[in-house]
Structure 1
Amino acid sequence: MNRARWLYRIQQVVRHLLDRPAADDDALAAALLPPPLMALFRGMSPSDQAHAARVCRALMRQGYDDPILLQAALLHDVGKAGGVPIVYRVLYVLLKRFAPRLLETLADRTAPVARWRQPLVRLAHHPAIGAEMAAHAGAHADVVALIRAHQDGRECPPHLHEHLAALQAVDDAN
């Protein structure tokens, strides 16, 4: 990992520790999300809510106004809701970089998951978990598809490729 990437990761940790939603983040989400999806947004950690609102606003500044994309932006990390302490986020990044096979073993969703492994499973599978949560809450199928595909792009219907590329670019930058 090059120096710039390490600095970016350090910035992510600091931002996660200090970040809180802006005063109008809840209003932005409430304007775009129906009540069952708004409940999901409010269940995210404060730093994840702030990140999601930044992603949504960045897309809006780029001229995107499709509610499907904006809802996906607000909920793309909802699969992390339920608790992912910062130490696990750091551990996840380190394992992904230096011991990906160990991470794969520890984050296996099919095996019985010990309590201490749950945050790693949640991080590794947050797109699928979030997509399931959004679908259960009644999200449009395209919102669910974007949430599911936002990390690796797999299983994204062709008609959503432009939205996915925009979401991924803004997510990576924020």
Structure 2
Amino acid sequence: MTSENNQNRSYSQEDIQQILQIAIAHQVKDDNKEFSYQQLAEIAGELEIAPELLQKAESDWLFNQRENQQRQDFNNFRNYRFKKRFVKFAIVNTVLLLLDLISGGGLSWSLYILVFWGLGISLNAWNTFQLQGEDYEFAFQKWYQQRQLKQSFGKVFNRVLAAVNR
């Protein structure tokens, strides 16, 4: 392409962000390196981004990173809890089915337990693997608040222990 064609093109802010993101990704792949804060500040300066805006953007990015990590921890907690419940369901119902078979007459009463408990497990699976919506947000907020409360109590307890041990 000629330089005249390059000068006549225009891009939206979103287009520029996407192009630069792809270019930076290619550079990191090629050089297998990370950028320092100084390099980030230089790039921002070349793009005429004020230092205050860069600091605000970095602060927002760090907040988003922490929140994403919290959500990942929450999802891992829910998956672990579901697996634990499912294993309990499978073991107990296997034993009940075997007892029903051994007691003679084939399967009868154990199927009712299997179906009703299975319905509960199915609903639990739906809630566990549903990662969007109001119910998810409510469950995440509740879990996050409980986690913060536990951490706060842990800190207070550790301070009290440290003061008592002095």
- Normalised by the length of structure 1, the TM-score is 0.22
Q: Which has the higher contact order (CA 8 A, sep 6+)?
A: 1
**Could you tell me the TM-score, scaled by structure 2's length?**
0.22
